[in-house]
A and B are shown apart, each in its own frame.
Chain A
Amino acid sequence: MTTPTYTKPIPMITPENERYWQGCKAHELWLRYCNRCQKPYFYPRDVCPLCGGRDVTWRRMSGRGTIHTFAIAQRAPSPAFRDDVPFIIAIVELEEGPRMMTNIVGVAPDPAAVRVGMPVEVVFEDITETIALPKFKPVA
C-alpha cells in the first residue's frame, strides 16, 4: 500500500533496526529485549541502555499502553504536515514499560477529548512498501 506522494519524514532501515521495522510492517510491535536484565527497551539498539547487557533478543509487545503525555500540533511542523493539522503527537508508555513517540488517531485533536493516562492500543499506518508507522488509538 505504497503512497507515492508521501512526503513526510521516512525512517531509514539499518541492520540494527531492521527487525523492528519488519515487525511494524507485519503490524506487530516487536521491541528489543535484554536477556540479562529481562526487560524490553525502546528504541532498538544493540546494547541494553538499562543494564549494559549485549545479550539482547526481540520480543513481541502486547501493543497496549497509556498516553504518558500528548500535544496537539496546530502549526504544521513542516510543509509536508500542512494537510494534517491539527493532529495529536503523544508519548505512549507501553504496558511492558518502554515509552515511544507516536500519534494518537481515532479521536478528535481536542484537549477535551484526549487525556494523559488514557488507555490506547497500537495500529499501524503503512507509508511505504517497507515501512509502517506504529500509531495508537483509544481502546474502545
Chain B
Amino acid sequence: MAHPLYRGAVIAGVDESDQIGNVPHKTSLQLHAEAAMNALADAGIDKSEVDGIATAGVSTLQIAEYLGIVPRYTDGTSVGGSSFVIHVGHALEAIHDGRASVVLITHGEGHLGGGRRPRGGEDPSNLAAQYEAPFGVLGPPYAYALACMRHMAQYGTTKEQLAQIAVQERQWAAMNPKALMRDPITVEDVLNSRPICYPFNLLDCCLVTDAGGACVVVSPERARDLKKKPVWVLGAGEAHDHAMISQMPDLTRTPAQYSGPAAMGMAGVTHDDIDLCMIYDSFTYTVLVTFESLGFCKPGEGGAFVSNGRLGPGGALPTNTNGGGLSYTHPGMYGMFLIIEAVRQLRGECGARQVPNARIALVNGTGGSLSSTGTLILAAD
C-alpha cells in the first residue's frame, strides 16, 4: 500500500533571482523576493493564493511581511543548506493535512548584508565557537576536509577520484548559461589549484556567490490548473546526527543514510529507478560520501563510483546537471538550487544539458558540517 503522503504535493514553480553570481548591489531580502515572484510566475499562481511560507537564514516573518503574505502555515526550519529541501517535505505534510494549499519556499543570500551566518564570537550557546573555532576550524572547508581525510585513510580514496567529481560537474556547467564557471577543467587542474585545507584544493570547494531561489509547492487539487507540467513529490526524508564535525558519529556516513531510505521508501523506488541526481556539492567529498550514504554504492566504494564519467554528460547517472555548487552557483545555503534544477530536468526545460527521458530525480541537500540532510524523490508524471 502506498505511503499516505505519496504524491501528496506538486512542485508547481521554480526560479532563481533576476541575477545570480556576482550581485553586490542587492540585499538578501531582494534576492528572496525576486526569486519568489519569479517562481510564482513560473507556476502561473498569484501571490494572493499563497497560504504557507517557509525559509531559512532569515525569519519567515520578514519574508511574509516583505511580500505582503499572511500565511496560516509557517516553517522556519533552519539547519543549513539542506533546509529548503526539508521545507518541501514539511510542505507535503502541511498540504496533506489541509493546513495549506500553496506553500512558497524562498532563499536569498547576498554579500550586501543579511542572510550570512555569523562566525562564532562571544555567544556561549555557539558550541563550535567554544570548542572548534579556537583550533582554526572556522568555516566549512576545514570541517569537511577532516571528514574527507578520514575517508581517504579508511578506504584509500584518492584526491584524483575526488577531482573527477569537479571535472564532470564542470562539463555540465559548460552547457548551463547561468553557470558562473564554464571553462573545461582537468583532474590536473583540480590537483594544481590553490591549496585551501589539505586534502582540499580550491577546485574541490564550492563557489561563494550571491543568489536567490524559490519554489512553489501546491496541493494535487491546485495542480490541476498550472502553467507548466506538474512535478510530483513522491517521497521525502530528513535527518541530522550532530552539529559540530568533531561530534559526527561516523565521518564517512552522512544522515543521508536515514533521509535517503525514508524518501525512497515513501516513493516506492529503488536506486535503479533514479534517472538523475542532484546532490549537494559543498565540496567534492560531499558528493562521494552522499552516494555511499544513500546506498548507491557500498561504504568505501565511492571513489570508484564517481569515476569513469558516470556522473557527467552521457554518463549512467547524470548528477548535478546545472554544474552544481562547484561550478554553477553557491551562495552559502545552496539546497534550493538542487530543487530548481531537478524540476527543470523533469519538465524537459534544460536545452543542451537536458537528460533524455528524465522521469525520476533524487535530490539530496546537506547542511551544516555534514550535519543535516533532506532527501526528495521527484517525478515528472
Contact = CB atoms under 8 A, between A and B. Distances in A.
A77 B136 contact: yes
A71 B198 contact: yes
Interface string A73-84: 111011001001
Contact of B131 (A8, A101, A117): A101
Contact of A9 (B124, B127, B129): B129
B113 interface: no
B61 interface: no
B246 interface: yes
Contacts of A42: 247
B137 interface: yes
A36 B218 CA distance: 49
Contacts of A14: 124
A9 B119 CA distance: 10
B147 interface: yes
Contact of B246 (A9, A99, A117): A99
Contacts of A43: 127, 130-131, 247
Nearest to A12: B124
A77 B245 CA distance: 16
Contacts of B146: 69-71, 89-91
Contacts of B245: 91, 101
A9 B194 contact: no
B288 to A, nearest CB: 15
A91 B175 CA distance: 40
Interface string B231-242: 000000000000
A57 B194 CA distance: 47
A77 B133 CA distance: 9
Contacts of B199: 71, 111
Contacts of B18: none
Contacts of B271: none
A4 interface: no
B139 interface: yes
A123 interface: no
A69 B153 CA distance: 8
Interface size on A, as a range, is 35 or more
B136 A72 contact: no
Contacts of A51: none
Interface string B112-148: 0000000110101001011111111111011001111
Given A101-B132, A117-B153, A77 B127 contact: no
B134 A100 contact: no
Contact of A101 (B147, B149, B150, B244): B244
A131 to B, nearest CB: 8
Contacts of A71: 142, 145-146, 148-149, 197-200
A111 B195 CA distance: 13
B41 interface: no
A116 interface: yes
Nearest to A117: B153
B70 interface: no
Interface in A75-111: 75, 77-78, 81, 84, 86-87, 89-91, 99-103, 111
Given A70-B146, A73-B136, A116-B150, 17 more contacts: A9-B120, A68-B150, A69-B146, A69-B153, A71-B145, A72-B197, A77-B136, A77-B142, A84-B136, A89-B135, A89-B137, A91-B246, A101-B132, A102-B135, A103-B135, A111-B199, A133-B134
5 contacts: A70-B149, A71-B200, A72-B198, A100-B131, A127-B134
Interface of B: 119-120, 122, 124, 127, 129-139, 141-142, 145-150, 153-154, 194-200, 244-247, 251
